Structure 1
Amino acid sequence: MNIGSTLTQAAAAHPDHIAIIHGDKTLSYRAFNERANRLASQFRALGIRPGDRVGILQRNGPELLETLFATFKAGAVAVPINARSHPKEYAYILENSGCSAVVFQEDFVAGLDTVRHALPDLCIFIAIGAASTWSTPYENLVASGDPADADVDCAPHDLAWLFYTSGTTGKPKGAMNCHANLQFMSDHYPREVYQLGPHDVVLHPGPLTHGSGLWSIPITAGAGTHLIPSGTSFDPDEIFRLIEKHRVTKIAFIAPTMITMLLNAPTIDRHDLSSLRFLGYGGAPMYVEDLKRAIQQWGPILCQVYGQGESPMTISLLKREDHKLPGDPAAERRLASAGRVREDIELAILDEADHEVPEGEIGEIAIRGEIVMRGYWNMPEATAEVFKGGWYHSGDLGMRDADGYVFLLDRKKEMIISGGANVYPRELEEVFLLHPGVLEVAVIGIPDRLWGESVMAVVRPRPGASPTEGELLTLCREHLAGYKKPRFIRYQDDLPKNSYGKILKRELKQSILAEIPKVAT
């Protein structure tokens, strides 16, 4: 098997169908496949062997998809790197993964030049655009490669993608995803998530080095058209224009933060978005109030996929039919959930002793099945820790109700223990967002000599709004037990986020404690 063969098969079935649109550039499935084959053959000519790691340091574009599938086809292991990373961050990933090659855009020449001498295993540099003296031009390689190169036959558990975690709690770890993991994900996509076909135009607003790149596999298997924005940053106006111009049917994968940005854009009602049939989101739970606004704006086209790099895009699913504005409280409550567990996966909610807890009680979400990674690259102790008892321990706290809906509360490491009582930040954040003047909020725990931790809410107001502390505390009293309300409320113009839109609570907490070291004493 070889997960790259999804492209080979799609090109055989739909050779003239448009595979990729990027600005004024279009590629058919025949051309997409031939360019990936040419690159794969050149990888071998350069000495890249099955199992070798290939770094992908690129912004969204056709070359990123070509490099990804060429790496699969050659039997090598793709190591996609977030394009917004600092040179020290991508140097760490290149060194940690032992990449022997990196395919990069000319934007990254200066950054790579500062770190390449500290990467002894990295000996092959392939540049898209202007090449330096120490790199090989990408287009030269593609032009001289073999368009009919055969896909390498791989074993199901051979590595295909090293997915580096976003590193919100420390150094990124490389989740080892094999061909069987990605095949499981791809096979289940049309059955459970979206039945995609050649008529579908799929927009990729998010980075192809993350969720959109994973979803590019089943999209390619279904011969959908990949529409890639040409901008280098997320621009709601560009998204709206592309949907209208190309009659986009599906948004592949988008972070909740991006949905909120679309909803807040003043131009949202100036474009015809009626072609949209599906909007997939994930990477973090979406707050209910924002979700209601999205449903009111677009109807029941949203679908939440809960997954991790360690179980690529596949744990539970809140389907489109669950995204309605219902009349009964029970159905509305499900909007706060991550849906039900996906097919062919076992899910358990475990206590500290790894015993399953009853329905409605909180514990750590654990799963097992063919979707789960093989472990962390070169980290046997971390691997053993997350696989104790035969389950993959997600690090997410949650509960499951009587109907099987899974509710995410927080990362286990972000739970606040104040005076011996557990406070789950998301629960409090949902309440704060009921206030019309709150745009974003992050709830964190800060050291307290008496209580162990005190609760602080960091609020980003909407432009022109000034939610008062009294108003916010009144909301807390109306919806939550008294011990959960924050002791401190802080206002900021922005909140730190990683490139996938997740609020960096650890960074936020560190900056606050550095500024006010005795805030809770």
Structure 2
Amino acid sequence: MFDGDEQWTYNEARSLSRGTAAALQKLGIQRGEPVLVWLPNASDIVRVHFGLCYMGGIFVPINLALRGGTLEHIIRNSGAKTIICHTHLLDRLAAVKLGSLERVIVFGGEAKGELPLAYLPSDVLTPDEGRFVEPSPPIQPWEPHGIFYTSGTTGPSKGVITPHVHTAVMGKCALRFFQEDDRFLMNLPYYHLGGALTPHAVLGFGASMALMKNFRTEEFWDEIRRTQSTCCFLLGAVSTFLMKQPPRADDADNPLRTAIQQPLPQYSVEFAKRFGVALYTQLDMTEMGPAIMSPLITDRQMPHGYCGRLENIWPTFEVRLVDENDCEVPDGEVGELAVRCDMPHVISPGYWAMPEATAKSWRNGWFHTGDALRRDAEGNYYFVDRTKDSIRRRGENISSAEVEEEVLKHVDIADAAAVGVVSKMGEQEVLVVVEPKRGKTIDPAELLEFLRPLMPHYMVPRYIRVMDKMPYTETHKVQKAMLRSDGVSAPGVWDREAHGIKVKRELIG
């Protein structure tokens, strides 16, 4: 089901996909060739993706929010010759270097412009199933169907190579509770693998899906009811946005039965009861599916950072928490999550055209996730931080996630991000960026006093920045790389030391 109540049966989806594959073949797209796709959530992006899957091309979707250097990086890194682009995005291409691009297929309007590219109208991709030529030899499970660029929250985006079996297995594991009568509301952008894996998963279970064009908090439950969706992802700040909506008498009167909530917030039990939804959580990423998954979250609030356990439903994963020398750390200590799988190609083979980054993450026979976790004696795993998001101050390692958890206890704060900024002392200082709730204001000095009894002295931020709206990715993650880049030179950054406020260690004895 798509916007405007467009619907496909399984047979219609197959016919449209094979017909689009034939059109791509006619354009000369080769097996193994990357094709940039810059389209909104609608039926066209699904059929283009599946068309490329059928004929062996590689689907390379682009974040609709991108422009400038980040856009240029993806165009250049992909090496694509063809971009399928919505007309409203063409002006952004005019402002960047176009790498290897030779032509643009324009959807949503007239195909003309001043770019040094051949312009083609969208009707060159009109489906024509009768002309489809089956690839020979047949497409294999280990061949890549996509390259998905990471959100770039910690640095330049890397293109994650995704084989067919990688995405199929990820979908089967992530939606492990799915049934034939379920309908998944795909409320993520399709350029995010969490969105693009949905049709793969749905096909595997014989179920159905609805594609949400744009996520809007105030329209979410209306869309759930309109599409009669029974399941969805709740990633990043989405559940926070929904919880902050005024309560309604019919909050629990909706068809949604199950949601995968990542990360699991402090109010997960309250959320489940308010909206009548069964919750699961898990730890996964674009490079791999969920090796660590939770059972059904019941009426007990799980501890902060809880991700679940090693659940080898199928296939079999091995996980380790390791130090900087790849030595396993004992239970209770924090280490980087490293993973491997007994089925080849379930974990991505690497980053597109980035051999050094690939070698760094896939070393010693394990994929190193960059996630810092700890494991308790019962085998439960808890997310602590991204390894690059940890802050080193005065000899102490600080979890940005733990700082943010305390900041969010302030009743007037809607969202918060903690990052490390350069210190004259040789390590880092803590900068907290906060977004007030609508209609509220934040006094940095008052916030500081609120935090002092909640944190050890070394965790209390030196710098506080108040923003009406923090920079988010399209998957509702705060773009910490941007906040770090702005640093303390951004307008309005408040420095407690400049105001004569010192926070010192409490001496005992």
TM-score (norm 2): 0.86
Return 409-418 or 259-268, whichever deviates more.
Answer: 259-268
Q: Which residue is equivalent to 2:358?
A: 383
Following the alignment from structure 1 to structure 2, what is the Cα–Cα distance between the partners of residues 141 and 507?
37
> Residues 248 and 186 of structure 1: is their aligned pair in 2 closer, same or farther, counting only changes over 3 Å?
closer
Instruction: Say which is worse superposed, 81-90 or 417-426, in terms of deviation.
Output: 81-90
Q: Are the structure 2 counterparts of residues 63 and 342 from structure 1 closer, same or farther at C-alpha, using a change threshold of 3 Å?
A: farther
Give distance in 2, aligned partners of 1:365 and 1:29: 39
SS of residue in 1 equivalent to 2:327: coil
Summarize deviations over 1:286-313 as a string: whole Å, max 9, x none: 4324x344223224522223211121x4
Whether 2:464 is the aligned partner of 1:483: answer no
Cα distance in 2 for partners of 1:84, 1:146 equals 37
Does structure 1 conserve the Cα–Cα contact (< 8 Å) formed by 2:22 and 2:132?
A: no
Counterpart of 2:422 in structure 1: which amino acid? P
Matched, 1:223 2:206: yes
Paired residues of 1:106 and 1:127 also in contact (CA < 8 A): yes
Please give the residue correspondences for 1:305-384 in structure 2 after superposition, counting only pairs within 5 Å. 305-311=282-288, 313-319=289-295, 321-322=296-297, 324-326=298-300, 332-334=301-303, 336-343=305-312, 344-369=316-341, 370=343, 371-384=346-359
Q: 1:104 aligns with which of 80, 85, 89?
A: 85
Which of 126, 129, 132 aligns to 2:108? It is 129
State the partner residue of 1:76.
57
1:151 shift after superposition: 6.3
1:296 aligns with 2:281: no
- C-alpha deviations, 1:230-251, integer Å up to 9, x for none? 4xx4212322212122322112
Are the equivalent residues in 1 in contact too, given 2:221–2:254 (CA < 8 A)?
A: no
The answer to whether the 8 Å contact 2:23/2:124 transfers is: no
Query: Does the CA contact (< 8 Å) of 1:35 and 1:147 recur in 2?
Result: no
Amino acid across the alignment from 1:349: L
396-405 or 446-455, larger mean C-alpha shift = 446-455
> 1:396 deviation in Å?
1.3
Residue of structure 2 equivalent to 1:13: none
**Residue 258 (structure 1) aligned to one of 206, 226, 238:** 238
Change (3 A) 1:136 1:273: farther
Offset at residue 387 of structure 1 (A): 1.6
Q: Is the 8 A contact 1:263 1:293 kept in 2?
A: no
Structure 1 CA distance for aligned equivalents of residues 68 and 453 of structure 2? 48
> Equivalents in 1 of 2:252, 2:395: separation in Å?
53
Name the CA distance, whole Å, in 1 between partners of 2:108 and 2:437.
41
The one-character-per-residue Cα deviations of 1:431-451 (angstroms, maximum 9, x if unpaired) are 222232222111222222236
Counterpart contact for 1:244–1:271, Cα < 8 Å: no
What amino acid is aligned across from residue 228 of structure 1 in structure 2? L
CA contact (8 A) 1:334 1:405 kept: no
Residue 37 (structure 1) shift: 0.5
Decide whether the 8 Å contact of 1:186 with 1:217 is kept in 2. yes
**Rounded Cα–Cα distance in structure 2 between residues aligned with 1:518 and 1:429:** 17
Query: Identity percentage over the alignment?
Result: 26
Distance 1:512 1:471, change over 3 A: same
Q: Mapping of 1:97-496 within 5 angstroms?
A: 97-112=78-93, 115=96, 118-120=98-100, 122-133=101-112, 134-146=118-130, 150=134, 153-190=138-175, 193-197=176-180, 199-210=181-192, 211-230=194-213, 233-251=214-232, 253-266=233-246, 269=249, 273-282=253-262, 285-289=263-267, 291-311=268-288, 313-319=289-295, 321-322=296-297, 324-326=298-300, 332-334=301-303, 336-343=305-312, 344-369=316-341, 370=343, 371-450=346-425, 452-465=427-440, 472=447, 476=451, 478-496=453-471
**2:115 aligned residue:** none
2: distance between equivalents of 1:266 and 1:444? 31
In structure 2, relative to structure 1, the CA distance for the partners of 1:180 and 1:262 (3 Å cut) is: same
**Distance change >3 Å, CA 479–CA 505, structure 1 → 2:** same
Distance of 2:217 and 2:339 partners within structure 1: 36
The CA distance in 2 between the partners of 1:458 and 1:118, in whole Å, is 35
State how far apart, in whole Å, the 1-side matches of 2:281 and 2:487 are.
Answer: 32
The number of residues matched between the two structures is: 483
Code of the residue aligned with 1:23 in structure 2: it is G
Shift of residue 353, structure 1, vs aligned partner: 1.2
> Given the two structures, how large is their TM-score scaled by the length of structure 1?
0.85
